[in-house]
Amino acid sequence: MKEMTATAVPRKRILCLEDDADTREMMDALLSEFGYEPVIVASATDALERTRSGGLALCILDHWITDGSGVDLCREIRALDPQTPIMFYSGAGYPSDIQKGLDAGAQAYLVKPDFDQLKPTIDRLIDEAEADLPTRLRCEVHARSAEVTAPTLRADVSPHPSTNPGARVCS
């Protein structure tokens, strides 16, 4: 009889920037429990370095961090990577804080300690990004072939993806 071996499915990697040691430990445990591979960092510098290395399914940022601003970091990540979903999980819960995070390019903002919505929000953002992948690939292939075969191709670039991450530019 042939023996079957289980193949391990790689877990999706989630970057989590948190400057509080206890919260880092909690997020590491939660993300692991949710079935993800946590990439926990304590500084904006480390978060940016990990983002540049790629392979992330989601970035979770704190609004207030010791070495900078989570909002500024969100803008930097969005400039480097317009595709990977970003969410804030922060104690900064004023409407103006939330709006700043979303305006910087995040797709979601949860106010700590909202544990009930944490996993559903993470799952939704990752699922939406994966569902959008075939559309993005078709747009990229279409754009590349259009550049070769039709140099006068015009595309409608409103709304621009850098100001609206959910927007799709493809003609």
On the question of pLDDT at 150 being above 50, the answer is no
**Contact of 70 with 17, CB cutoff 8 Å:** yes
> Ramachandran region of residue 15, left (φ > 0), alpha (ψ -120 to 50) or beta?
beta
Total domains, the chain: 1
DSSP label of 165: T
Q: Determine the straight-line distance between the first and last CA of the chain, rounded to whole angstroms.
A: 54
Range of the domain at 23: 13-131
* pTM (two decimals): 0.74
| Predicted confidence band of residue 66 (pLDDT cuts 50, 70, 90) | confident
Mean pLDDT of 127-132: 89
Mean pLDDT of 93-119: 95
pLDDT of residue 139: 46
Helix/strand/coil for 33: helix
Measured CA angle at 54 (ends 79, 90), to 5 deg: 65
Q: Is 167 a member of any domain?
A: no
Q: Is 142 a member of any domain?
A: no
Q: What is the CATH number of the domain that holds 96?
A: 3.40.50.2300
